[in-house]
Amino acid sequence: MITWRGVLSRFLGDPVAIGAGVVLLVLVLMAVFAPLLAPQNPYDLMQIDIMDSEMPPAWRAGGDERFLLGTDTQGRGVLSTIMYGTGISLLIGAGAVVVQAVLGITLGLIAGYRGGWVDAFLMRLADIQMSLSTLMIAIIVLAIFSAGFDANTYADYAIFMLILIIGVAEWPKFARTVRSSVLGEKNKEYVDAARVIGLPPRRIMWGHILPNTLTPVLVISTIQVAEAIMTEAALSFLGLGMPVDRPSLGSLIRSGFEFIFSGSWWITFYPAMVLIALVLALNLLGDWMRDVLNPKLRRGED
Amino acid sequence: MTDTPIVETRGLEVRFPLPTHFLSREKPVLHALNTVDVAIRPGESFCVVGESGCGKTTLGRTIIGLQRPTAGEVYFRGKRIDTMDETERKPIRRDMQMVFQNPYASLNPRRNVFDTLVEPVRHLMPEMSASEARTRVEEVLDATGCDPSWQRRLPHEFSGGQRQRIAIARALVTNPAFIVADEPISALDVSIQAQILNLLSDLQAERGLTYLFITHDLSVVEHFGTRVAVMYLGRIMELAETATLFSRPSHPYTQLLLEAIPKLEGGSFDRPHPPGELPDPVNPPPGCPFAPRCPIAVARCRSERPELRKLKNGAEAACHLAE
Amino acid sequence: MPMLEVRDLHVAFPQGKTDEVEALRGVDLHLSKGERLGVVGESGAGKSMLAFAILNLIAEPGRVSDGEIIFHGQNLLDLSEREIRRIRGNRISMIFQDPMVTLNPVLTIGTQMMETLRAHRRISDAEARRLCIEKLKEVSIPSADSRMEAYPHELSGGLRQRVVIAIALLTDPELIIADEPTTALDVTIQAEIMALILKLCREKDVALILITHDLGVVAEVTERIMIMYAGKCVEEGPTRQIIDAPRHPYTYGLLRALPQKVGRGQRLYQIPGSMPPITALPSGCAYHPRCERVTDRCRREIPELGDGTACFSPLTPVEAAS
C-alpha cells in the first residue's frame, strides 16, 4: 500500500524529482499570477507600441530595461507574452487531459468490467482512433474550422476547440490503462464480496474498482499533459492553434520564427526554452511517479 | 434440528465454455459441476472437500449467486433463488453471506473498516438509521474479536488473521442465517487458523448459523463438520456424517484422501504412490471419473458411471463397489 | 564432524537510510550426512531466509551480516560466486514451492535437464540423455522417454514437481534443500511427492532440509526439527521428542492448535495475537507477548537456545504430555 507520507519522503529524497517539481511550480505560479507579475499586458492594445518592436533583450545594445527579454514584431515584451502564453499552454494541456480522462476512464471502466462484445467494440474503436495520428486529425478539423468561420470567431473558440480535439483524439491511452487495471481488479475477492451484497454494477465499477485503478491514471495524466502541450505547440506552430493575439507558447515560437535569420532570435528562443523546461519537468515527474507508484519496481517496503 | 433444508440444490450443473479460436468448429466446455444435489440442514456445518478443480468453489459460488447455473435449481428456505431478478433477491441477500479465502484480496484496499462493514447494511437494510447502522457495525466488530478503534483504519494496517476477522464481521453484519465459507483459513498461518476456526464455531453456537464450509483440508473437516460431501471432477463422490466418513470411508477416493493426510504419528508417506492426476475435465472418462486412479476399479467402473446411492451405514457414495 | 554447520547466522535488510533490521537473528544449525531436518515456522519466521542464506542467494539489498556456513569444512560465505556455483545446484540442490521457479517455460524438459547436467559434468550427449531418462524414471514419471520432449506447461503440477526433483537429483547431491515443496499441491499429490522425496533420501543417503509450515509433513518425513519464530530458532531436537513432548510454549501451542489433536466440537487451543514483524520486535523473548508462561525475565532478556529450547520457563515433560 502506498501512503502519501511514503510518496512525500521518496520525493524529498530524489533531487531530480525536486528539481522537476520546483521548475513546474515556478512555471505554474508564473502563469497563474501573470496579470500581477507581468511588466506589460500583451492583450492590452493601449500598452503596446509598434515603435518598440524587435528590441533585443535588455542587456544587449539597443535593449530597453522595460523589456527584459526584448520585444516581438508587434512591440510586445517577450517576457510578458511568455508569462501569459505559459498559462494558455497549461490550460490547454490540463483541459485536454481532463477531457481524455473523463472519456477514457468511463469507456475503459465499462470495457473492462462488462467484457464480451462491449469490450471488443470499444477496444477496436480505440485501435482505430490510435491508428490516426492526433496531429493529423487536429490539422484536418482545425483547418475546416478556421476556413468555416471568420477570424474573430475562430480566435474566440480556438482554445475550446484545441482542448476538445486533443482530448478526444487521445482518450484511448486512458481507456487502455484503465481497462487493463480493471481486468486485474475485477476478479479480486473484494469485488465478489460487493456482488454478494447485491450492489448494482454501476456502484461496483465506480465505487470499488475505480479507486483501485487510479494510480496508473495519475502517472499517465502527468505525461499526457506534457504531450497535449506539445501537440498544441505543434499545431500553433503550423498556424492552426492559438491566434497571434492570444498566443500560447507554440504561437509565440511561430511568430518569431521568420525573424530568426534577421537577427531577432530572442522572439523564438525564450518561449522555446520555457516550453522545453515545462515539458521536460512534466515528463520527469511522470517518470518519477511511475517508478514510485509501480509496485513491480518497488522493493523491500510494503 | 428440522429436516427442511435451509439451502438445497437439485441437479445443479455449471459448464464453462472454453476460449477457442472463433473459427474452430469444436466448442469445448468445462463441466465444473455435474448434477449436484445437496440439502443443507439448518444449524449444521456442511463441509465440501476435494482437490483443486473438483468444483467445490463453483458450488459455493453458484449457491450464493456469483455464478449462474447452466442447469438445475437452487433453493433457499424452499424458494427457488437462481432465477430471481435483483429486486426479488435483495431481501434474501441479507440472509446469505460469504467469507472468502484470501483476506488480502477480499477487503477493498482503499476503504476503511467502517466503510467496508457499513456498506451491506446501507444497501440491504435501508430501514436502518445511520446511528443504528453504526451500532450494528460496532456490535459485529465486538462479536468477531475486533477492536472498535479499527474502524477508521485501512486493511493494509492489519495482519492476515485480523483481516479475516474483519471479513467475517462483514459477512455477519446483516445478521445472516447462512454463510458460505470458501477456504476461510487456508491462507492463514497455523496459529491463526485455530483462532479463526474457534471464532466460526463460537459464532455458530451464539447465532445458530448454518455454514457451507469449503476446504481441501480433511483434518479441519473432522474437527468442524457435521456432514461432509467429497467432490471429484464436479461430482459428489461421497456424502456422509463426519463421524461415519472418518471411521468408515466408503468411497475409494475418500480412502485415498484420508490416507494422504500427513499425521503427527507418521506413517502416511512410507509407501510411495504412483503419480495420480486429475483426468482432463474437458473430456472426462466415460465411466466413474475416479476409475483411472482407483485401486479397486473393475471393467464396469470404466464403462458405466455410478450414481450416488444410499449405503447400509447411512452414507451415500457414488461407487459400484461400495457397500 | 557434521556435513553442514551454520553458526550464529545473521541476515540483515536495510531500513530507511542508515538502519538495518535483522531477518535472521543468530541461527545455528547442524546436519550430518543423510540426515533429514525439518525447519518449521509461520510466514515471516525466517525459515526461507535460512535456506537462501545457506546457498548464498540472499537478494539485494539484504546481506548476511554475521556468522559462518561451513559445508565440509569450508565456509561458504568466503567463496567467490564462481566457486559457490560449483556447490550450488551440484552438491547442494534446491526444490522450490513453485516448480516454475526452476523450470524455464520455453525449453523442453530434456533440454533443461541436459543443460543442468552439462554445467557440472563433462559428458557426452548420449550419456547425458541416458542419465536424464534414468532420473525421470526414478521419480516415477510415466513414459519418461517421451517426456524429455515435453514443455513444462504440458505437465500437471504434480508431474512438474517430480521433474524438479529429478533435476535436483541429476548431479547426485549430498544435500537437498526443499522450500515448501508441496504447499501448492493437492493433498493426494502432496502425499505422493513427499513419499517420493522420503524414499529417495533414504535410498541414496541424501541429507534433506525440509522447510515448511506444516507440522504433519515434518512429523512424517524428518528425523530432527527446528522451530523458528521471528528470526530465531526457539526449539530444536529429535522429531518424535518435539512432537510428543514439546518444551517451548510456542511449539506446544502450535501442536495443540492443530485440529487433528482435538476431538470434534471441542475448542482448539489458540495462541493469542500474531507473530510480530521483524521491524517491530518486542523486548526480550520475541514470543513473550503471546506466551502464557511469561515471566519478568522473558520481557527483559533474550533466551538462548540451550539444550534444545530457547525459553526461561520451558514446559516440564509432564505438562507437555497433557
**Cis, bond preceding C282 (omega within 30 deg of 0):** no
Task: Say how far apart CA A293 and CA A297 lie, in whole Å.
Answer: 8
CB contact under 8 A, B97 and A196: yes
Q: Residue C180: which residues within 8 A CB-CB, separation 6 or more?
A: C48, C96, C97, C211, C212, C213
Chain C environment of A299 (Cβ under 8 Å) = 61
Residues 2-21 of C with CB under 8 A from A: 13-14
Cell of B234: 464436479
Q: Which residues pair with A77 in a beta bridge?
A: A71
CB B55 within 8 A of CB B29: no
pLDDT at A189: 92
Please say whether the beta carbons of B306 and B288 come within 8 A. Answer: yes
Q: Which residue stretches of chain C have pLDDT < 50?
A: none
ipTM: 0.88
Alpha-carbon span C67 to A36, nearest angstrom: 67
Model confidence, pTM: 0.86
Give the residue-averaged pLDDT of A260-268: 77
pLDDT at A299: 40
- Chain centroid to Cα B30, Å, comes to 20
Neighbours of chain B (3+ CB pairs under 8 A): A, C
Q: What pLDDT sits at residue B21?
A: 64
CATH architecture of residue range(s) A4-44+52-293: Orthogonal Bundle (1.10)
Length in residues, chain B: 323
C-alpha cell at B184: 476461510
pLDDT tens column, A184-197: 999 899 999 999 99
| CA–CA separation, A78 and B168 (whole Å) | 66
Helix (H, G, I), strand (E, B) or coil at C235: strand
Which candidate, C315, C312, C320, C272, places its Cα nearest to that of C294? Answer: C312
CB atoms near residue A207 (< 10 Å) = 17
Pair B244, B314: CB distance under 8 Å: yes
- Cα distance between residue A13 and residue A291, in whole Å: 14
Q: Do A198 and B64 touch (CB under 8 A)?
A: no
Q: What is the pLDDT of residue A248?
A: 84
Q: H/E element holding A271? A: helix A266-293
- For residue C130, count other CB atoms closer than 10 A to its CB: 12
List beta partners, residue C298. none
Distance from CA of C180 to the nearest CA of B (A): 14
Which chains have 3+ CB pairs within 8 A of A?
A: B, C
- Spatial distance between the Cα atoms of A158 and A247, rounded to a whole number of angstroms: 11
Residue of chain B whose Cα is closest to the Cα of A192: B66
Q: Which residues of B touch C214 (CB under 8 A)?
A: 190, 262
Residues of chain B scoring pLDDT < 70: 1-3, 20-25, 272-278
Give the closest residue to A226 by CA, choosing from A278, A264, A297.
A278
**In what side-by-side order are the strands of the sheet with C63-71?**
C19-31, C4-15, C63-71, C74-75
Contact check, Cβ <8 Å, B170/A199? no
Chain segment B16-74, per-residue pLDDT in tens: 887 766 666 677 788 889 889 999 999 999 999 998 888 999 999 999 999 999 999 99
pLDDT band of A295, cuts 50, 70, 90 = low
Query: CB-based burial of residue B8 (10 Å sphere; 0-12 exposed, 13-18 middle, 19+ buried)?
Result: buried
Kindly state the average pLDDT of the residues A64-83. Answer: 77
Chain B: closest CA distance from residue A209 (Å)? 9
Confidence band of A301 (pLDDT split at 50, 70, 90): very low
Say if CB C197 and CB C221 are below 8 A apart. Answer: yes
User: Is the CB of B105 less than 8 angstroms away from the CB of A190?
Assistant: yes
Contact residues, chain B, for A302 at CB < 8 Å: 156
Of the options 3.40.50.1110, 3.40.50.300, 3.40.190.10, 3.40.50.2020, the CATH number for the domain spanning B1-19+27-95+178-189+202-278: 3.40.50.300
Phi, psi of B3 (to 5 degrees): -100, -5
Is the CB of residue C171 less than 8 Å from the CB of residue C120? yes
What share of chain A has pLDDT > 90, as a percent? 31
CB pairs under 8 A between A and C: 4
Contact at CB, B191 and C216, closer than 8 angstroms: no
The DSSP line for B119-163 is HHHHHH-TTS-HHHHHHHHHHHHHHTT--GGGGGS-GGGS-HHHH
Q: Residue written as cell 510454549?
A: C249
| A1: contact with B, CB 8 A cutoff | yes
Mean pLDDT of chain A: 84
- Partners of residue C13 in chain A, C-beta under 8 Å: 300
What residue segments make up the domains of chain B, in order of their start?
1-19+27-95+178-189+202-278, 102-175
In the DSSP assignment, the letter for residue C315 is P
- Among the ranges given (A70-84, A126-140, B14-28, C235-249), the one the predictor scored with the smallest mean pLDDT: B14-28
